[in-house]
Amino acid sequence: MTKFSDLKLDPKVLKAIEETGYETPTPIQAGAIPPALEGRDVLGIAQTGTGKTASFTLPMITMLKRGRARARMPRSLVLCPTRELAAQVAENFDTYAKHTKLTKALLIGGVSFKEQDQLIDKGVDVLIATPGRLLDHFERGKLILSDVKVMVVDEADRMLDMGFIPDIEKIFGLTPFTRQTLFFSATMANEIERITNTFLSNPARIEVARQATASETIEQGVVMFKGSRRDRADSEKRKLLRALIDAEGEACTNAIIFCNRKMDVDVVAKSLKKYGYDAAPIHGDLDQSQRTRTLEGFREGTIRLLVASDVAARGLDIPAVSHVFNFDVPSHAEDYVHRIGRTGRAGRSGKAVMICGPRDDKYFEAVEKLLEKDIPRLENPLAQGKPEPAQADAPAEDKPKRSRSRSRKKDEPPKEAETAPRTDTTKPEPEPAAKKPESRAKRGRGGRGRDRDDQVVGMGDDAPAFIRKSFAERSAD
């Protein structure tokens, strides 16, 4: 069995690894570190939670042990799709490089440009950044990428999903042609394949698992849900989520709940808090300081349930997440693997439960097709109960009730009209509205003088007194 000591890493790096308690590298680490240390380009394909971060952090620290960074000219560059993933890489660098003198800078949104500029001006060995903030610094003339010797692209398929591929191609063009590139992704879409063929030179390809497979340590299940009524479906779905959490009991020490839309993240978190659950939302529209506080609270255990969008599906290095609940079936099948990969990490067991509604059938079929197996169906814990009345956490649900009552009154004749006989048979029926355009059409253009005997011209007797008075005065004059 391969050990870290067999991988020709720097002794100071090995000492840091030993202090963290790790002895044996994961398959992606054992496959990617040797060719990276040889200076070859690396294409690593592995599911989330397999240790990809250390696969490029450890050899990068070893390769940068000699040399010195110059102002505004980083020696290596790590690109990450989200702020959380970039922060995780920075933490890994601090852990493994603590016995070296290497420096780093973290360039992410939500942080002052001034503080980041000060770090870059001093010169950094490792620059960890999201694509947008990196290009912001470059376009302001604060960054020079011509001295980058090692470039890392982490979670490339997520970059594709978030629309960062044009930025990635631009950044590749700003770095030297002679750089070494370490490219990591959980899946290999056609666009990712094109980029690797364009920018990587004869890479060592390490694929430790079939693309987009879920870890065997994760117990999966799905509840097929259908609301009793359209206007109650959302509140009943939230009630089902609470029932599923309660059914896990003490086994659910903490959990991440994934929603497809940011708006639903806020609604679900607010609903859970209303019913006494320790829950907090996290998504891309929140301030970075709030996102950081929320993640720290989840790691420390003060927040039990983290309601998240897919921005948190990757980059959360929290080994002890016991459960993942998919409140929505993800619209991209690959995202299902990344979501449930937040549990069952580092060899631990985990459980992932998904709620599938009638509109999710197409997405659910795609998930099972990707996994190449059926997800076990779970019994709905609310199936034996009566439908729940409209919840107070969804005030908009009252509106359809009022609209239905109005339509019923409009369509049904009054009771009196049904039972009482008609006594006045001489009263003429009102003329249908369809005949009015007919009379106008009969007059036609230029026929203003016709049918004057049949029609009232002007206001007639209904003219106000002041008009009649002024007309009489003018006539007298």
Crossing angle of helices 333-340 and 361-371, rounded to 10° = 70
Q: What is the pTM of this model?
A: 0.65
d(CA 40, CA 42): 6
pLDDT at 414: 47
14, 19, 25, 28 alpha-carbon torsion, rounded to 10°: -90
pLDDT at 403: 45
**3-state DSSP assignment of residue 339:** helix
- 260-277 exposure pattern, b = at least 16 Cβ within 10 A, e = fewer: bebebbbbbbebbbeeeb
Which residues in the chain show pLDDT less than 70?
A: 1, 48-49, 209-213, 311-317, 346, 384-477
Domains identified in the chain and CATH numbers: 4-207 (3.40.50.300), 218-399 (3.40.50.300)
Task: Write the DSSP string, 166-181.
Answer: HHHHHHHHHS-TT-EE
φ/ψ (deg, to 5) at 392:
-75, -15
pLDDT at 333: 85
369: left (phi over 0), alpha (psi -120 to 50) or beta: alpha
User: Of 344, 320, 371, 343, nearest to 217 (Cα)?
Assistant: 344
d(CA 354, CA 338): 14
d(CA 105, CA 74): 9
d(CA 168, CA 441): 66
How is residue 324 written in tokens? Answer: 């993942």
Rounded to whole angstroms, what are the CA distances from 106 to 111, 237, 258? 10, 40, 27
pLDDT at 209: 64
pLDDT at 211: 55
65, 67, 70, 76 alpha-carbon torsion, rounded to 10°: -50
Strands 126-129 and 76-79: parallel
Beta bridge partners of 306: 256, 280
pLDDT at 288: 77
pLDDT at 216: 81
**3-state DSSP assignment of residue 162:** coil
φ/ψ (deg, to 5) at 81:
-75, -30
Decide: 84 and 295 in contact? Cβ < 8 Å: yes
pLDDT at 107: 95
Query: In the sheet that 323-326 helps form, which strands lie side by side, from edge to edge?
Result: 218-224, 350-356, 323-326, 255-258, 305-308, 279-282
